[in-house]
A = this chain, B = another copy of it.
Amino acid sequence: MSEKKSDHLSQLRNMPLFLKLPDAALGMLEGILVVRSFHKGENIFTEGSASAGFYIVIKGRVKVFKLSAEGKEQILHIVGSRELLGAVSAFAGSPYPAHADAMEKTTAFFLPRKDFLALIQKEPTVVMNMMANLSMRLQHFTRMIEDLSLKEVPGRLAAYLLYLHERTGRGDIVEIDISKGQLASLLGTIPETLSRILRKMSEKGLLKVSGRRIRLLNRKALQYIVNGEKTGL
């Protein structure tokens, strides 16, 4: 799992978590961080297991998810490059509250909990940066709870597509960067339901699906759906 890390270290000082960190501290980090790689589908940690430390993803993507008794999965979030994985547990000393699996070949720095704790004692800026990170996560979860309990699946899907369009859309095309099954799990539903809703939206002329490429033909109508307008989907 462990491999050479020199290639990645240059990125360190640009990581949100280490912004404004003095060079001395960065140098210390270099000696501590361990590079770990995970192949596609590999489990990184499991819900309930003790936190040994946390990860900073360098390359690849990791899904953080919960499992129901029957095996249905709910993705909490997808962690990509330069993002933190398991930091809250490492900070609080609590067990990991969810599972984490690599969605593709993934490389990450691992920072042992005790070194992390020592670092934040010495460097308040790290805590500040981490607070900013947690704040964003909290906002994200707030919206997720709102969506799950107050919106129906078409609304959640429409919101996701419009969000994706805003961030990465070219013209009226969005490219979903995960499989439809995983998207279903992210939206709190199942593949069958997602598939049916996409078909109905196509029939209504709201969008056009070609594999993972979706053309948004009527963004205004999609926004109405997000807002809870009944459109007989």
Interface on A for B, CB 8 Å cutoff? 66-70, 72, 74, 76, 88, 91-92, 94, 97-98, 120, 124, 127-128, 130-132, 134-139, 141-146, 148-151, 188, 227-229
Contacts and interface: CB of A to CB of B under 8 A. Distances in A.
Contacts of A68: 150-151, 228
Nearest to A130: B131
Given A74-B149, A145-B145, A188-B148, A69 B139 contact: no
Contacts of A139: 88, 92, 94, 97
13 contacts: A66-B145, A67-B150, A68-B150, A68-B151, A91-B131, A91-B135, A92-B135, A97-B143, A127-B131, A137-B138, A141-B144, A145-B145, A149-B188
Given A66-B149, A92-B139, A134-B135, 17 more contacts: A66-B142, A66-B146, A66-B150, A67-B150, A69-B227, A74-B146, A88-B138, A91-B131, A92-B136, A94-B135, A97-B143, A120-B128, A134-B138, A141-B144, A145-B145, A145-B148, A148-B188
